[in-house]
Each structure stands twice: as structure tokens, then as C-alpha cells.
Amino acid sequence: MATYQYRCAGCGPFDVIQPIGRALAEEPCGSCAGPARRVFTAPLLARTSTHLARALHAQEASAHEPRVVTDVPAARRRPTPAVDPRQAGLPKP
């Protein structure tokens, strides 16, 4: 469904919601029933954020092309601290 804007000469602008491509050049005004001409406006476009677009793409792709795991992932190792945490509070020479 799309929102189309019309302007009545007596009442002013109003919106009509119709399926895309079904808008007429004139619509009857809801207030006075007089003819109202369609006003061409910029389309209301919204851009999806990068993170949401990536998640939606991954979700769509997983329905037809699921990722197959062949090996067990390697365990992540924590880096060993250079200094023992118990000695971190001691004065340094």
C-alpha cells in the first residue's frame, strides 16, 4: 500500500492510501466531494542500517544456503598477562 497526496481547491491537501500503481489523477474530496488533483511528492524512502541489512541478508541466505561446519572451532586462548595480577599493586623498582 502506498500513500498518495491530493489537493482540493476548497479544502486543501489530503492523503489517500491505495495499492501501488492504482492512484488516479483525480479523487473526490472527503470533505466536500469535489474533484481533487493528485500532487506528486517525493517518495518516502527509508534506508536500512548496515547492521540490520547484514543480519537480514544472513537470515535470508541461511534458508537456502546454510553454513556447514566441518571442524570444531579452535578454542580461544586468553593471552597470558605479562605481570602476575597479585604483583601489579606492588611498587616498581
The per-residue pLDDT for 7 is: 95
Residue 39 pLDDT? 94
Query: Cα(89)–Cα(77) distance, rounded to whole angstroms?
Result: 25
pLDDT at 47: 77
* pTM, rounded to two decimals: 0.47
- Kindly give the parts of the chain with pLDDT less than 70: 43-46, 79-83
Give the number of C-alpha atoms closer than 13 A to the C-alpha of residue 15, restricted to the C-beta side.
5
